[in-house]
Structure 1
Amino acid sequence: MFITAATFTIPWFREDMLREFSKRADEVIVLGNEDDPKWKPYFQDLGVRYRTYPVSRNGLNPLHDIKTYRALKRILTEERPDKVLTNFVKANVYGCIAAHRLGIRDIYVMMGGLGSVFHGDDIKSRLTRLFVSAEYRASLKHAKRIFFQNDEDSQLLVSLGAVKDEQVIRINGSGVNLEQFRHEPLPDQISFIFIGRLVRGKGVLDYLDAARIVKSKHPEVRFDLVGPYDTNPTGLKPEDIQPYIDDGTVVYYGEQKDVRPFLKNASVFVLPSYYGEGTPKSALEALATGRPLIVADAVGCREVVRDGGNGFLVPPQSPEAIVRVMNRLLEEHELIERTGWSSRRMAEEVFDVRAVNETVCRTMGI
């Protein structure tokens, strides 16, 4: 059983993993938060069964969490899975505890990025961090192994006493499907793109501010923005983005189920996230497409760039540093092609989804 608190992320992050599970296991059940009729045929196509349970991904109401725990315990009692894999905070915490109390021994946890809760310095983040750290100390001890996408996150949770060294398994992000995301020739006109949820900590406004500066001197350069608004407390609102659309700085395409055409039409991928990423999937897809990256030198993001090799690291929250790299690429066109080929090689050598899934399956004994 794979338990998630965000069903909508599966097509982007976990589809290949579930397909591999369905090849190897007698039965695979996905337990998610969205009770939408569209999901059942989607999961049937993957060869897995889908059920729902109540969970508030970002909520802090303890009554809601009690409801979540009771629902998980009931469903686990009904299904009695041999192995449980959880993903996202609420699923990790209450899934681990419920499975352990029912005597399920093969419990595994898939950690994404720890996010702003663990890497933010504001009062709300610090208070939430204390609460989530306590929850993790109570729950993660029941997991056989915990998959981490970068070393900094695992070291942080070890230092907080929530995880033991012997539980840690390092994987290279969620991987990227190299058959779906192929190397594409660069477009004739240089352009930049940001793909991701419109959350403040992902550096969206840093990208837009840099784009506005560059656009003032190079009006011919196109800047694209792709991604959904988010319910996260740090999510941006339409009124935050609209001024950049109105003055012609950026073209906003909203949420897209298939980002490949947008990557194909872009020259350079930009993600100045200081959010506390695991390993950003959008960056892996840009690597596989053969695009150089400009990313913040922050947790998770630095995993995908060898500075000067397949892209460039910039200080977090520094539009000026992004502008300097963009101007350099506009002046040295050949640098885009060279670093783009390095990106594709890195995707093949490090982030192939088949290798990631093999590590997960071998660890879980599937």
Structure 2
Amino acid sequence: MDQLVEIRPSAVAVERHRVAVICSYTISLANFRLKLLKAMVDNGHEVVAFGPERHGPTIAALSEIGVDFVPVPMARAGLNPLQDARTLVALWARLRKTAPDVVLCYTMKPIIYGLIAARLAGIEDRHALVTGLGYLFSEDARGMRLSAMRALATRLYRVALGGDGRVFVYNEADSQDMRAGRMVEDLSRIVPVPGSGVDFDHFPSVSVPAGDPVFLLVARLLRNKGIAEFADAAGRLRARHPNARFQILGRFDPGPLAVARRDIDRWVAEGAIEYLGETDDVRPFLAASTVFVLPSYYREGIPRSILEAMATGRAVVTADTPGCRDTVIDGENGFIVPPRDPDALAVAMERFIEDPLLSWQMGRRSLEIARARFDVEAVNRLLLKEMGLLAPAA
């Protein structure tokens, strides 16, 4: 993955496939997978994208690159048997109608129900992109109910991942859990992939701004993203370094692990943090930041937010958890701290306040690592090659 490559349409003939890509969040097709979908089209394939929401801008962006959109009912979270049965039947019916010969599913619900539906529809070439096993497989998922849900999810994965297709994983922890749960019988089918990659044209490097340090956290407002720990550390540092700024950017989440608005309001009132709201374009906020912070203990794949910060040329402080630790060489492009430890987090962030050159030095190293390991063109080329969708070189 160290050698960067560009995916170009080939002049050499390649077998044309009809490919279905199934997701649980329609907007992700444009925000996270547009380059992959375009690479499929550029390599001579007909592509259909399945998603639950009819999101106009996303559908328009897909249409521009020649990808059709098919809506399918799907709840992003939870295990509701009636809802999930409806999703399975709907996927089966739409796959029968669109008749793809290759299916790629990403995130939990599409992988489980999309691949089962594809098998029932007689589609043999089925692949899964495991972007992170999620909360059920994290250390926080304790108790009888969550243990039972995890066991059920493991059995469903085992059924869904049958066959000969590739199972792409973002980090070694997910790979180990899949082996331990016997989700994949033939271990040679598990293929490591360095995340979703980052588009350096869309996220160009920007010099670290001069002036007071700005620490930026970008995430959905979930407790296990380390939001409270960040606010705690920020409050301590503000008392010693009143000119330092600590910003949170992200949308509120309706789930049970959500950070309450009253907590955000309290931290703002106390002067610990600035809440920036939510945005469709993080680039101006990354450009205005000094250091990127994500102390997450959510079961990440490889956080895209960190990759975008690295492409911008920012040092990173993150937690020693699956996915997060895969982005940082401790002491080179940032610091890795224990999860749920605001003391260690404060110590790591304070090093940038006390040594202003550190953010510039580590930010430059972040960009080098991102270019070597996480270029979206190289990632997409690997995916297409493993799925047999890459046109031979001219």
Q: TM-score range by the shorter chain?
A: over 0.9
| Bigger shift: residues 18-27 or 176-185 | 18-27
CA shift digits 1:75-131 (9 cap, x unpaired)? 001010011000111111111111112221110001011122101242143222111
> Which residue number corresponds to residue 115 of structure 1?
134
> Which residue number corresponds to residue 200 of structure 2?
178
Q: Does 2:123 match 1:101?
A: no
1:53 counterpart letter in structure 2: V
Q: Does 2:96 match 1:67?
A: no
- Alpha carbons 2:198, 2:311 under 8 Å: kept: yes
Cα shift at 1:143: 5.3
| Bigger shift: residues 294-303 or 92-101 | 92-101
Cα shift at 1:354: 0.5
> Which residue number corresponds to residue 9 of structure 1?
28
Query: TM-score scaled by structure 2?
Result: 0.90
| Bigger shift: residues 72-81 or 174-183 | 174-183
* Residue from 145, 149, 152 that aligns with 2:170: 149
Distance in 2 between the 1:68 and 1:226 partners? Answer: 32
Name which structure has the greater RCO, CA cutoff 8 Å, separation 6+: 2
> Which residue number corresponds to residue 353 of structure 1?
376
Secondary structure of the 1:336 match is helix
> Which residue number corresponds to residue 324 of structure 2?
301
| Bigger shift: residues 349-358 or 100-109 | 100-109
Distance in 2 between the 1:174 and 1:341 partners? Answer: 21
Distance in 2 between the 1:353 and 1:107 partners? Answer: 22
Distance in 2 between the 1:175 and 1:29 partners? Answer: 22
Distance in 1 between the 2:121 and 2:164 partners? Answer: 14
- Alpha carbons 2:34, 2:62 under 8 Å: kept: no
Where do residues 281-360 of structure 1 align in structure 2 (5 Å cutoff)?
A: 281-360=304-383
- Alpha carbons 1:292, 1:310 under 8 Å: kept: yes
- Alpha carbons 1:118, 1:125 under 8 Å: kept: no
* Residue from 232, 243, 247 that aligns with 2:266: 243
Distance in 1 between the 2:281 and 2:369 partners? Answer: 22
Cα shift at 1:9: 2.3
Secondary structure of the 1:43 match is helix
Query: TM-score scaled by structure 1?
Result: 0.97
Paired residue total: 366
Where do residues 73-222 of structure 1 align in structure 2 (5 Å cutoff)?
A: 73-119=92-138, 120-123=140-143, 124-142=145-163, 144-163=165-184, 164-189=186-211, 190-222=213-245
| Bigger shift: residues 3-12 or 200-209 | 3-12
Distance in 1 between the 2:262 and 2:91 partners? Answer: 38
Distance in 1 between the 2:277 and 2:239 partners? Answer: 24
Greater helix proportion: 1
Secondary structure of the 1:104 match is coil
User: Which blocks of at least 5 consecutive residues in structure 1 are unaligned?
Assistant: none
Cα shift at 1:175: 0.2
Distance in 1 between the 2:64 and 2:239 partners? Answer: 48
CA shift digits 1:287-314 (9 cap, x unpaired)? 1111100000001100000000100000
Residues 182 and 199 of structure 1, relative CA distance in 2, 3 Å threshold: same
CA shift digits 1:202-224 (9 cap, x unpaired)? 11111111111111111111111
CA shift digits 1:129-156 (9 cap, x unpaired)? 1111111111111351111001110111
Q: Does 2:67 match 1:45?
A: no
- Alpha carbons 1:118, 1:126 under 8 Å: kept: no
- Alpha carbons 2:310, 2:366 under 8 Å: kept: yes
Distance in 2 between the 1:345 and 1:121 partners? Answer: 36
The root-mean-square deviation of aligned C-alpha atoms, in Å, is: 1.3
User: Which blocks of at least 5 consecutive residues in structure 2 are unaligned?
Assistant: 1-19, 390-394
